[in-house]
Amino acid sequence: MRINLMVILAWGWMYFLTVPAIHAQATTASKDSQTVSEQDVKLLRQDLRSQKKQLIAANLTLTDAESTKFWPVYDQFSAEMTTLGDQKLALIKEYAKGFGSLTDTQAQSLLNRSLALDEAVTQLRIKYVPIINNVLPGTKTATFFQMERRISALIDLQVASHIPLVQDQH
């Protein structure tokens, strides 16, 4: 794959710098240079989605006919993934807000809902395999999902590296 790993990592940092800021916002009442507004998070997420699309476009070799059919399906897939991303962000905010005083019950609830979101992402990918396979040949469908999963894995790794462990709250 021609995607430059450093470009993706640098790109991902933009978004994930918001996670500690969300934590700081949840644990301090003052607005300072570490806080990020909801609008900033929204803009960063839009930019991330745009760059993800650009990376896929630059690395998935499509004919004109395939492009015409693929990109509307991709946009629909991306919109559904964004909805799941909204839920993940809400869960991260809830975790940040409760960090330092999470009970066992709250921690278990966050874990269960996080795992349910992981499952929902997997189910969404499964749902879209035949849909994308209707507009692209099998090798290109597989290539798209490889790229989508690699980019998502890098993003997830960046997020996870900025979220403190539950046991560190005490």
Residue-wise pLDDT for 45-81, tens only, equals: 888 888 899 999 999 999 999 999 999 999 999 999 9
Which residues span the domain enclosing 93? Answer: 5-27+37-163
Residue 148 lies in a domain: yes
Q: How much is the pTM?
A: 0.77
Residue 12 lies in a domain: yes
Distance CA 57, CA 3 (A): 11
Please give the pLDDT value at position 134: 98
The answer to whether 102 and 166 have CB atoms below 8 angstroms apart is yes
Residue 18 lies in a domain: yes
Please give the pLDDT value at position 6: 39
CA 93 to chain centroid, in Å, comes to 14
Residue 70 lies in a domain: yes
Residue 168 lies in a domain: no
Please give the pLDDT value at position 49: 85
Mean pLDDT of the chain: 82
* Alpha-carbon separation of residue 106 from 80, 89, 98 (angstroms): 27, 17, 9
Please give the pLDDT value at position 36: 63
Which amino acid type is present at position 12?
G
> Residue 84: how many CA atoms within 13 Å on its side-chain side?
20
Domain count, the chain: 1
Please give the pLDDT value at position 32: 46
Which tokens hold the place of 138?
């099998």
Distance CA 108, CA 113 (A): 9
The answer to whether 15 and 45 have CB atoms below 8 angstroms apart is yes
User: Please, is 84 exposed, middle or buried when counting C-beta atoms within 10 Å of its C-beta (0-12, 13-18, 19+)?
Assistant: middle
Q: What is the DSSP letter of 94?
A: H
The answer to whether 26 and 164 have CB atoms below 8 angstroms apart is no
91-128 pLDDT per residue, tens: 988 988 888 888 999 999 999 999 999 999 999 999 99
Comparing 92 with 11, which gets the higher pLDDT?
Answer: 92
Please give the pLDDT value at position 17: 44
